[in-house]
């Protein structure tokens, strides 16, 4: 199992601890999808084929490029996206530590989108066949997987609602709330401030706006004392109001 200590260009990694090479050492192994459902069970070391690193802003996978396994992000944030010919691109989802890049890739090797590292990222590829076999033998594992896949679909559906039906400010608020909720679900502390490594350009590509407009809307939220995004941190001053703005259904 090759695991080079990849030389990061500069220190943007929001997870500053030493980079571990084994899943059992992983800082996130205790409260995350990948480990809770798939690695804690049997033979994690066999299951994991490779672990790799990618620096922030690098592309992890290019669309069309077949993956050599089921990708899981171990550290850092990544984003699935689709690149258009005219230079525009749409971020489809944010992948956080412990998340599958795509749950369905357990069955389908083709990702049909690209993946970019938002921060420095450590990720690994799990053996697709071994994973399927294990799921086949273990009902609990299978339904855990199903829950993850369903969560991905639900997230995509809500994202569609945002893009189709909601104003710039609402989309922004909804994005923030969703990140906060994901943090809470995984047990990460949700102080007034949480780490939020997305640049305004990422936010723009995610919620279908221009970075200029995102900037204006963030300024507005700041002026209204609701929240702020600044230098990799999201600070919420008035959670009730943020929730209300994000309220969807």
The residues pairing with 54 across neighbouring beta strands, listed in sequence order, are 121
Q: Which of 155, 195, 215, 239 binds DNA (CB under 7 A)?
A: 215
Report how far residue 180's alpha carbon sits from residue 238's, in angstroms, rounded to the nearest whole number. Answer: 13
Q: Which of 11, 17, 84, 87 binds DNA (CB under 7 A)?
A: 11
Is residue 237 part of the contact set for DNA (CB under 7 A)?
no
Q: Which residues of the shown chain bind its own copies in the complex (CB under 8 A)?
A: 80, 82-85, 88-90, 92, 102, 104, 107-108, 110, 112-113, 136, 142-143, 146-147, 149-150, 152-154, 156-161, 163-165, 205-208, 247-249
- Of the candidate spans 24-32, 42-50, 76-84, 199-207, the one that interacts with DNA by CB under 7 A turns out to be 199-207
Is residue 127 part of the contact set for DNA (CB under 7 A)?
no
- Of the candidate spans 100-108, 129-137, 173-181, 203-211, the one that interacts with DNA by CB under 7 A turns out to be 203-211
1 binds, among its own copies, DNA, none (CB under 5 to 8 A by kind): none
Report how far residue 48's alpha carbon sits from residue 38's, in angstroms, rounded to the nearest whole number. Answer: 10
Query: Cβ 204 to DNA, closest distance in Å?
Result: 7
Q: Which is nearer to its own copies, 53 or 145 (CB)?
A: 145
- In sign, the C-alpha dihedral spanning 94, 99, 103, 109 is positive
- Residue 27 has a CB neighbour count (10 Å cut-off) of 16
Q: Which of 22, 45, 112, 167 binds DNA (CB under 7 A)?
A: 167
Is residue 9 part of the contact set for DNA (CB under 7 A)?
yes
Is residue 63 part of the contact set for DNA (CB under 7 A)?
no
The residue ranges that bind DNA (CB under 7 A) are 9-11, 57, 167-169, 199-201, 208-213, 215-216, 218-219, 230-231
């Amino acid at each position: 199992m090759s695991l080079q200590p990849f030389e990061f260009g500069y220190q943007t990694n929001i997870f500053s601890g030493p980079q571990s090479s084994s899943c059992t050492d992983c800082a996130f192994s205790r409260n995350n999808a990948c480990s809770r459902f798939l690695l804690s069970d049997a033979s994690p070391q066999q299951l994991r084929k490779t672990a790799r690193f990618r620096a922030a802003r690098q592309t992890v996978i290019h669309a069309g490029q077949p993956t050599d396994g089921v990708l899981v992000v171990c550290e850092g944030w990544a984003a699935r996206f689709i690149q258009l010919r005219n230079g525009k691109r749409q971020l489809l989802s944010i992948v956080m530590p412990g998340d599958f890049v795509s749950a369905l890739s357990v069955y389908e090797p083709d990702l049909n989108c690209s993946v970019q590292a938002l921060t420095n990222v450590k990720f690994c590829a799990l053996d697709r066949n071994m994973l399927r076999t294990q799921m086949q033998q273990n009902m609990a594992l299978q339904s855990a997987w199903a829950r993850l896949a369903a969560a991905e679909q639900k997230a995509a559906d809500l994202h569609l609602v945002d893009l189709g039906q909601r104003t710039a400010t609402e989309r922004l608020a909804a994005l923030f709330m969703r990140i906060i909720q994901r943090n809470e679900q995984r047990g990460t502390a949700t102080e007034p401030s949480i780490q939020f490594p997305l640049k305004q350009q990422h936010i723009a590509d995610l919620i279908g706006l221009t970075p200029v407009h995102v900037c204006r809307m963030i300024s507005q939220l700041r002026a209204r004392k609701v929240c702020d995004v600044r230098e990799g941190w999201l600070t919420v001053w008035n959670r009730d109001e943020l929730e209300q703005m994000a309220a969807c259904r």
